[in-house]
Structure 1
Amino acid sequence: MNELEVAVTVGTGKHPGADLVRFLETMPAAFCFLDADWRFRYVNAEAERLMDRPRTELVGESLWEAFPSMVGSVFEKSYRTAAATGRPMTFEAAYPGTLRGWFEVRVWPGSDGLAVYVLDVSDRRDAEEAARRATARTALLARVSAELSGQLDTLSALGRLAQLVVPVLTDGCIVTLVDREGRARDVGSWHGDPARRPLMDRYAQIRLDTLPSASPVAQALLAGTSVTDSVDAVLQLMADGPARDLLVQLAPATAVVLPLTAEARTVGVITLYQDAGRVMTAEDLETARQVAAEAGRAIARVHRQNQQAQLAEALQRSLLTDPPALGGAAVVVRYVPAVEAARVGGDWYDAFLQRDGSLVVVIGDVVGHDTAAAAAMGQLRGLLRGIAHYSGAGPAEVLRGLDEAIAQMHDETLATAAIARFECDGHGGRLLRWANAGHPPPILLAADGTVTVLGSPVGDLMLGVNPAAARSESVVPVPPGATVLLHTDGLVERRDGTLDEGTAALTRHLRELTGSPLDELCDGLLRRMLRGIPQDDVALVAVRLSGTHPDEAGSPRTQG
């Protein structure tokens, strides 16, 4: 009997036979046998190679003494559970000690010990991890593209970019943008460790004020090239202070800074912080560069949109004149363009006096959102003003005249409009006479907070459909101190709500703002209704009459 056969016999109490010995010695997996006292009784050739110790040293030695790093690990817990329950166990785990890799472990308990089978599955795990990371990188690029191209507020999406790239590409991230005046500011930060997110946020708030010119961030901003450096080297450049202390607490090992380029200039950087032990592969770096390129294109779009929006808004506002100076009345007009760039449209307002001195206010909206709609709006606004001033007619007749002019001169134009005229009732009181062509109805806010929506939700047929359509007219008393509000549909329509819900919110906010000065009422209404993100153009005109008729002498109180 040879030495190996003796070892097997000692462990099992039986002579295994030459065939079994050859099988155990040539199997591609590590195999060993532990007795009831956790001592090695048999170690095959693969186990000897895997553990990098001769079997002559291992046989007879306690498992826990030979490999103390197993104590407290999943290996010990599984071995002891199998021994205590008598049930086989199978698990995969990374070895906690000096042995590198992942292992599939199978344990069979017996009355006199444990048989242990160990197969190195590192290659399979590496392949699975590589496939997983490749899938994650592809998904990341798709999400970044969707976020940056599909957001109405692209700058907010750029701020969230830091959260998107963690943890797929990095452990922590800060996104920096440079404005047109050359000022850099950090607009977003994130860390994969929730405990370090507040630290990262505070660091992003103050780091740019203290980073030296030789730092990776400053170099990338100046040269427009990628920079990779150890954080220890960065710390050596930084002066003592809160920023340096925060970076020490964050404890990254490496910083990779990639420039964001738009229109041939560096408009920001993205800083990727890697913890110790994390390796940024060539594939990760290439994906990060693609993310940076996508962000650069998004910034270029923001710049173009800002320029287009400024031009479009200037065009729109040039077509909307200030209301006239009036005695005995306050008139406030407001126009808010949509957040989407160059979304110039056909919303308009107007306020003017007819020949007899009656105040007329108009709100309208030409169908469409482009420069053609804005041009048509300007023409219709001028036509309506001319018809109303020359004819001195009431609101319904003015709408009929405008509808006929549209049919003859602008036959492809569709529009809605509401006209209101303030009249004296002959007894010192005020009347409001109005007509509505498919527009949101006027609203009357009494001094006591009572809100009345005048007429039906949509009024008569919109303009540009049938010039022979009947136009109705209504009259309602205007009590002292009351406010009349006309608005376009952008104030009440929402993509996530109904028109009825928008109108209900409008009336609620009007009640809450009762008693406010007229300009404050209008500004407060816009803030509450639009929530800072107008999805469509919004125009409104509000009138509050004092104790005298607007055609009587008095100091003007017109606001726009």
Structure 2
Amino acid sequence: MDDTSRLREGGRVADRRAAAQVLQADRPRTRAARRLRLRDASSALDRLTELAARLLAAPIAQLSLVDDVQVIVSSTGLPAGTVGAEQPLEASACTIAAADRVPYAVADAHADPRVSDLGPVAAGAVGAYLGAPLIDPEGQVVGVLCVVAPAPRPWSDTDVATLRQLAAAAMTELELAALRTEYESDRLRWGLAIDAAGIGTFDWDLRTGELVWDARLIEMFGYDADDFGGTIEAFNDRVHPDDLPRVTDALQASIATRGDYQAEYRVVWPGGETRWVQARGRTLSDDDGAAARVLGAAYDTTAERAAGMRVTRVLEAMPAGFYSLDRAWRFTHVNAEAERLLGRSREELLGQELWTAFPAALDSAFEESYRAAVRTGTPVQFDAYYPAPLDGWYELRAWPSPEGLSVYFLEVTERRRVQDRAERGAQRLALLAQVSAELAGALDAQTATAHLPRLVVPALADWCIVTVVDPDGRPRDVGHWHADPAARPLLERYVALRLDAMPATAPLMRALLTGEAVMERAESVLDLLGDGEARDLLGALAPESAIALPLRGRDRTLGVMTLYFRRGWAPREEDLATAQDVADRAGLALDNARLYGQQQALAEGLQRSLLTEPPEPDHAEIAVRYLPAAEAARVGGDWYDAFLQPGGATMLVIGDVVGHDTEAAAAMGQLRGLLRGIATYSDAGPGEVLRGLDASMALLQTRVLATATVARFEQTDDERRRGVTRMRWANAGHLPPLVTNPDGSVAELASWRGDLLLGVDPEARREESVVTLDRGATVLLFTDGLIERRDADLDAGMARLRETLRELADRPLQELLDEVLERLVDGRPEDDVALVAVRLHRQDRPRPAVAGPNRVPDVVPEDPAGPPRR
């Protein structure tokens, strides 16, 4: 039975008390949990807990160990002091997940009788819960990783699979911490054993006369660090007078022959105490062949001088393997632990050459490191793998000596296995996090999906192709990548040809049709392809197998991610699970983009339908633009309007309802219609139109806030003869109009003052301003999306707009608006942008052709005595 089926059945345990009894009766699991070392794993557990909250979009995540009680060891989103807290098993939802041994999902905690009585649920802090047990390699449950949401929410199969992978990674980190502690203990005992042997080292530089002893040797000769002179005389002063000639001769012979040095002698301490010391060393030559240094080691043999049993007993008792090699690489000593680790008795090994006994060591890290140690006289430390029959990883330390090489080693196969598993798990989780970040942050989900092959190769496959289904239902390859750069041109050509050559029974088509993963061997796919270039290219790429993973949306399959595996590479089960998770996330992103595109087109079409074409009165050219935001809400409350009043005056309006959603768009439609009705019926001026709109909003209980600017263009006969027009305008919290004069200068309108926003106070008095314009001037009304930036204030945006209008003053009006949008928002505004502009062409000449035809409602009279329609 899979986890999903168990979740549907509600688990094995009826309630928390029964679950607590199951856990408390499981004593071996309790002891296993207590043995785990948490200190070394704490940072890794914190990262996994944070990743769980991020990947599952939950504000709270927590990792707990369970034995007789529940102990919280890592959390995110919980108050300070939570980590380390204990609570009874029956007081936690995690108890059910631990006892049930499968993930436990609660979509609505208030409706689930197993958890509805918990304090956090009753208090409203927990609305949904998802927990996954941590199961160690022995099959024992040691803890639970869970995520919590404050409001009810469903948990998908993908959510369950993701949390289960994170729980497995957390268990791996706990295992690795326990093993790391165990190995550190072994190394400590190893070091203590070496210290117990009492071995000291010396280095005599024959060119300078400097004699260097380590602290153990200084103590062995009865000196301290301050009174040891660092010369051969200090050595001679302590050697027993009867032994000094013999020792001196041995040293001189070694120096003369560049050979080995060996001596056993007595050391007389200042208080008269005599100690026996065994020393061994060798003389090293410089580049010219002259004697340069004498290196060696010594140990106190007083207690067991005759048999030399002390070092032997220490080596035999060591928890690490030990063997020594002579200068011909023959075994000279093998301790009991080495016999066990090497699977050979010391009788078999003593006297045998290392390379004969273990031939796989040749041309490997073993030979390279051993020979380097002997050549340089420097100890080495390294990890290396030895194949069958040992088939294991070893941590080794090798010390060169005049006699040959001493090697201490530990088997670390299990540590490497757990470490490799932890690294693979971390890589998979990092891949999921990267995929989630790219899909969430991309404006174009299809482009982000096309990038997936570069993320999953080579972590999950040798090469990859991503296919998406176009709106017309045809599959199209959008991305591909190969781990081998030399094979990428072949893959690119294969991608260009394969869909046309692929029959309906191919794995890709079956995955698209069924929505299920399809795995197939390459030979079968080659048989399906007819003779031709596509078949030849697939043969040249030479995969052994492939798996087609559907990119599933909510109710349809939107594409396929096909992973290809080279010969000899069998994908791991956990890698395939991760790949399917990646495919599911990509499918959901594509589906969200599809639904968002539909809603966006509908909303934008609705809003555009509310923004009508302007009239074109005599000698006045009006142009409008509306540009929705490039991101997030594509529908908002920005609007423009242009119409004629009954007396023939032209009125322009720009407005912005506070908010960016469908409610704002609906409110915009209401306010625009109200303002139009008031202005076109009453023939009132801008201030009175805004006052009437405010009063209507209060009466109709239109509870929104909005800004608006209304401008009316008027002209008397005298003004017509002088070639000027008056603009009367009123402002309700909106940005003022900008006027570009015929000479290209931009009017500042320094006297403007914005009144209260619409919807604040229906009794507010609306003031009007009047400016006289020369014919040939252009007036621009706009919303703040044109000049507003996240990284700059409105004043900087206004300065850019004024400069742009100055540069474009001689352009035709339609071209001017297009260029303004291009320069200020690059065609992709952060907020909605609405523009309405009027250019007052000269009236002493015909209406210019660039202004288009004259369009005026028939009901508006052309009264020579009255104000012209301007």
What is the alpha-carbon distance in structure 2 between the residues aligned to residue 525 and residue 98 of structure 1?
78
Which stretch of the first structure deviates more once superposed, 338-347 or 236-245? Answer: 236-245
> Is this contact kept in 2: 1:433–1:473, CA < 8 A?
yes
Q: Displacement, 1:178?
A: 0.8
- Pair 1:206-2:501 in alignment: no
Which stretch of the first structure deviates more once superposed, 138-147 or 460-469? Answer: 138-147
Q: Note the alpha carbon deviations across 1:289-319, whole angstroms, 9 max, x for none.
A: 2332233333332232222222222321222
> Is this contact kept in 2: 1:367–1:414, CA < 8 A?
yes
In structure 1, the residue corresponding to 2:605 is in which secondary structure?
A: helix
Amino acid at match of 2:711: A
- Pair 1:122-2:413 in alignment: yes
Q: 2:733 aligns with which of 438, 449, 454?
A: 438
C-alpha distance 548-175 of structure 1, shift in aligned 2 (>3 A)? farther
What is the alpha-carbon distance in structure 2 between the residues aligned to residue 443 and residue 79 of structure 1?
84
Q: Displacement, 1:321?
A: 1.2
> Is this contact kept in 1: 2:521–2:545, CA < 8 A?
yes
In structure 1, the residue corresponding to 2:762 is in which secondary structure?
A: coil
What is the alpha-carbon distance in structure 2 between the residues aligned to residue 530 and residue 35 of structure 1?
80
In structure 1, the residue corresponding to 2:513 is in which secondary structure?
A: helix
C-alpha distance 511-68 of structure 1, shift in aligned 2 (>3 A)? farther
> Is this contact kept in 1: 2:439–2:448, CA < 8 A?
yes
- Pair 1:302-2:597 in alignment: no
Q: Displacement, 1:489?
A: 2.2
1:401 maps to 692
What is the alpha-carbon distance in structure 2 between the residues aligned to residue 172 and residue 413 of structure 1?
55
C-alpha distance 513-219 of structure 1, shift in aligned 2 (>3 A)? farther
Q: Displacement, 1:428?
A: 1.0
Q: 2:778 aligns with which of 483, 497, 502?
A: 483
Q: Displacement, 1:534?
A: 4.1
- Pair 1:467-2:766 in alignment: no
> Is this contact kept in 1: 2:752–2:769, CA < 8 A?
no
Q: How does 1:313-328 map to 2 (within 5 A)?
A: 313-328=604-619
C-alpha distance 31-300 of structure 1, shift in aligned 2 (>3 A)? same
What is the alpha-carbon distance in structure 2 between the residues aligned to residue 17 and residue 228 of structure 1?
67
Q: Displacement, 1:350?
A: 0.5
> Is this contact kept in 2: 1:423–1:433, CA < 8 A?
yes
Q: How does 1:282-431 map to 2 (within 5 A)?
A: 282-339=573-630, 343-424=634-715, 425-426=719-720, 427-431=722-726
The root-mean-square deviation of aligned C-alpha atoms, in Å, is 4.4
- Pair 1:545-2:840 in alignment: yes
Q: Displacement, 1:110?
A: 1.0
Q: Displacement, 1:537?
A: 2.5
Amino acid at match of 1:206: A
Which stretch of the first structure deviates more once superposed, 519-528 or 281-290? Answer: 519-528
C-alpha distance 129-353 of structure 1, shift in aligned 2 (>3 A)? same
Q: 1:271 aligns with which of 562, 567, 581?
A: 562
- Pair 1:185-2:476 in alignment: yes
> Is this contact kept in 1: 2:526–2:535, CA < 8 A?
no
1:105 maps to 396
Q: Note the alpha carbon deviations across 1:363-389, whole angstroms, 9 max, x for none.
A: 111122333322321221122223323
> Is this contact kept in 2: 1:328–1:557, CA < 8 A?
no
> Is this contact kept in 2: 1:431–1:478, CA < 8 A?
yes
Amino acid at match of 2:758: L
What is the alpha-carbon distance in structure 1 between the residues aligned to residue 320 and residue 632 of structure 2?
65
C-alpha distance 240-204 of structure 1, shift in aligned 2 (>3 A)? closer
Report the TM-score when normalising by structure 2.
Answer: 0.54
- Pair 1:227-2:522 in alignment: no
What is the alpha-carbon distance in structure 2 between the residues aligned to residue 301 and residue 85 of structure 1?
64
> Is this contact kept in 2: 1:199–1:246, CA < 8 A?
no
Report the TM-score when normalising by structure 1.
Answer: 0.80
Amino acid at match of 1:33: S
In structure 2, the residue corresponding to 1:519 is in which secondary structure?
A: helix
> Is this contact kept in 1: 2:329–2:354, CA < 8 A?
yes
2:374 maps to 83
C-alpha distance 81-455 of structure 1, shift in aligned 2 (>3 A)? farther
Which stretch of the first structure deviates more once superposed, 412-421 or 526-535? Answer: 526-535
- In percent, how many aligned pairs have the same letter? 51
> Is this contact kept in 2: 1:190–1:200, CA < 8 A?
no
What is the alpha-carbon distance in structure 1 between the residues aligned to residue 780 and residue 333 of structure 2?
93
> Is this contact kept in 1: 2:494–2:538, CA < 8 A?
no
Which stretch of the first structure deviates more once superposed, 161-170 or 480-489? Answer: 161-170
Structure 1 portions without partners, runs of 5+: 1-11
Which stretch of the first structure deviates more once superposed, 264-273 or 417-426? Answer: 417-426
Greater RCO (Cα-Cα under 8 Å, separation 6 or more): 1
Aligned pair count reads 545
Q: Displacement, 1:539?
A: 1.8
Compare CA radii of gyration and give the structure with the larger one: 2
Which stretch of the first structure deviates more once superposed, 149-158 or 85-94? Answer: 149-158
